[in-house]
Structure 1
């Protein structure tokens, strides 16, 4: 999304590339970014915050924002735990991060950016007036209104060019998919209420939203050309089979367009035989 709107982006998956913290910090020093976005999860949150502290040491003026399931569920707790972090972009964050980047870019040198209008953002205020009378170290945490879920998923850029430009598909595998593979998403949200499933509860919500079949097919054609050695696709939808009609339409279109890649996806345990077939 940021590249689509003209921002210069470096995207690094440090664990996949076997980069240690020293290498990440060295990269930060060399690039000197104004905005650092860190993906998080509950199992990794302690390490994620330690990384942010180290990044802050080498990039004292960078704006550090966290995204992901854990921080969406516990934004205030996360910001309270780590003063190296400036903000949390809650739930679906594509347009929140874009708005943040645009706001930071437009702020004049030395000017405190006004973040109050960015939907979906929780942040530690940098306004000295807001801190007045609350102690020298007080930085109140502000919680902006939630950003509505994205209804038109076709408006989002494809993820596969990100693989092509920034990542190596050889670094990724899934035990339920043939290697090498790519991970795509054709829909978001899930109407079911399984307690164990973290994504609808924290990121994507309960409403099932989906890309058009035509949009998905065009991306599948792209990945076949971009990655000649590709063997399979993992559709990382919350529940691809949530709509029986759309599932059938997508499958029929893949057959019609001769998309012969093997694919796997997330589903429930109770879809009927017609849907599975």
Structure 2
């Protein structure tokens, strides 16, 4: 066994869907860089960097979702259907680790909802190669070290940020020195646990830039060019109740990297691969305007004539956005403005412990329109004390705005204020795996039926916006009628027919690949209220309309007259 050999593992995921552009193992690449700088031989085994996907049996704790996701739907309003294992099998991972013979295996466990997959990966690796030491790090073990260490296959937990602590652990194991001196460590000792405080890095510019050469860029592509990730800051100074990274949580303080270190990282990535897309995964990318202007002025100069698209998919804080920032973003290659709204309700924003951002949000949308940027606006539904009627008002408000709607079903994130609220009110899901949006985790002031209905209504609304952009109008209402061979009709036309029926009678239908037309379980009060309200609304598309008076602003005052 090579005592300098380390393998870092991104485990497989089991869920209804996977968004591969959000699974680039950036954190592992950052830890790898620190290890390599200290003389260790490091590989990343990314179980998700492949197109393997296998339908698996729905876990028992998910059985209640059959009522909502029971049948496959070919329409544009479909949600989820099959539960799948994404990535390599556990046995393949165990076999690869045995072949590589590492001294230490580090496994990423970022999200509590997927902690079972991380644990099962550890168990399988230990079975195939019992000689190695196994370390689990990430958000989940940071908050639940004892729970993780109940698994005998896991030797150590590292809490907090792992670049320094993982290196210190490997050095301690290699040199047989005191493990208790490793920052953020937790492990078993006799009949108890040794657990130290989470480790945070004060100066992010002091650690090496991520070793992106260990990432499979051939898999993470967008339009046949490399898609990469940058994290320019960590933590968040905001106090939002739903967020586990906020200043109100037990998470790290807000820190920004130096502009020079970020530019060095971008240049290193561009040297190795043909970068065509960069997502900045920061929680608050433009909160510090002076830093933002300095950074993106440099990026603008560096990427001049290189046709690179930039994005901030975590969402931008509307009050931090002004015309100078949007103008610079446009010049740098941003094509979309991702906006963190939360809610349009002042009362709900207060529940979220979030400032009233509504005026700033409207101003940001105006700027996106002026500079020709598309917009995506993120709202949350089904949070504690949040009503379905409030979320429906959010949808109807956004129907009138030139933006795509990004509706997320609330899930309790360990470390957040709302997680503690759910715990105290005894409404937490019984299983860690249910703490994800697709599981409709709460059945409280917004019921699960209402939550599923809101999700489908957001899909319907976005399809209506798509029709406004592509056709300039919406189809006439029509009562349900028999379709001949519906499985042969193209998806857009099929969805238009379903929309006509829905706006006529309020029933959300799906079409199975075998041609069966069926009705989804939905809250009829919400669907009827949506229809009754939207008939008096000027529905806006998503595509920006530069100088709308001159070019014709595509809106629709849709009057619901029954045919």
Name the TM-score class by shorter chain.
0.7 to 0.9
User: Which has the greater radius of gyration?
Assistant: 2
1:136-215 equivalences in 2 (<5 Å): 138=191, 140-147=192-199, 149-159=200-210, 162-164=211-213, 166-172=214-220, 180-200=226-246, 205=252, 207-215=253-261
How many Å apart are 1:178 and its aligned residue?
Answer: 9.3
**Structure 2 residue aligned with 1:46, among 99, 110, 116?**
116
1:27-66 equivalences in 2 (<5 Å): 27-40=96-109, 41-66=111-136
Q: Take 1:70 and 1:44, find their aligned partners in 2: how far apart are those partners?
A: 9
Alpha-carbon contact 2:226-2:273 (below 8 Å) kept: no
Q: Would you say 1:85 and 2:168 are equivalent positions?
A: no
Higher relative strand content: 2
Q: Take 2:258 and 2:300, find their aligned partners in 1: how far apart are those partners?
A: 16
Counterpart position of 1:263 = 310
What's the TM-score, normalizing by structure 2? 0.42
The unaligned stretches of length 5 or more in structure 2 are 1-33, 51-86, 328-563
Q: Take 2:118 and 2:259, find their aligned partners in 1: how far apart are those partners?
A: 36
Q: Take 2:173 and 2:114, find their aligned partners in 1: how far apart are those partners?
A: 28
**RMSD of the TM alignment (CA)?**
2.3
Q: Would you say 1:116 and 2:180 are equivalent positions?
A: yes
Counterpart position of 2:416 = none
How many Å apart are 1:179 and its aligned residue?
Answer: 5.6
Q: Deviations over 1:53-104 (max 9, x none)?
A: 1111122232111111111111112212x12111110111111100000000
2:279 is paired with a residue whose SS is: strand
Alpha-carbon contact 1:151-1:209 (below 8 Å) kept: yes
Counterpart position of 1:276 = 326
Counterpart position of 2:297 = 252
Q: Deviations over 1:140-164 (max 9, x none)?
A: 21112332x21221222222xx332
The unaligned stretches of length 5 or more in structure 1 are 108-112, 126-130, 132-137
Question: Once structures 1 and 2 are overlaid, which stretch shifts more, 51-60 or 253-262?
Answer: 253-262
How many Å apart are 1:199 and its aligned residue?
Answer: 3.6
Q: Take 1:97 and 1:146, find their aligned partners in 2: how far apart are those partners?
A: 12
What's the TM-score, normalizing by structure 1? 0.82
Q: Take 1:269 and 1:73, find their aligned partners in 2: how far apart are those partners?
A: 30
How many Å apart are 1:121 and its aligned residue?
Answer: 0.7
Alpha-carbon contact 1:92-1:204 (below 8 Å) kept: no
Q: Take 1:46 and 1:151, find their aligned partners in 2: how far apart are those partners?
A: 31
Distance 1:250-1:204 versus aligned 2 partners, 3 A rule: farther
How many Å apart are 1:42 and its aligned residue?
Answer: 1.1
- The count of corresponding residues between Structure 1 and Structure 2 is 251
How many Å apart are 1:270 and its aligned residue?
Answer: 3.1
1:95 is paired with a residue whose SS is: helix
Q: Take 2:224 and 2:246, find their aligned partners in 1: how far apart are those partners?
A: 27
Q: Take 1:25 and 1:272, find their aligned partners in 2: how far apart are those partners?
A: 47
Q: Take 1:257 and 1:8, find their aligned partners in 2: how far apart are those partners?
A: 32
1:30 is paired with a residue whose SS is: helix
How many Å apart are 1:272 and its aligned residue?
Answer: 2.9
Alpha-carbon contact 1:64-1:85 (below 8 Å) kept: yes
Counterpart position of 2:267 = 221
Q: Would you say 1:9 and 2:42 are equivalent positions?
A: yes
Distance 1:83-1:11 versus aligned 2 partners, 3 A rule: same
Alpha-carbon contact 1:92-1:203 (below 8 Å) kept: no
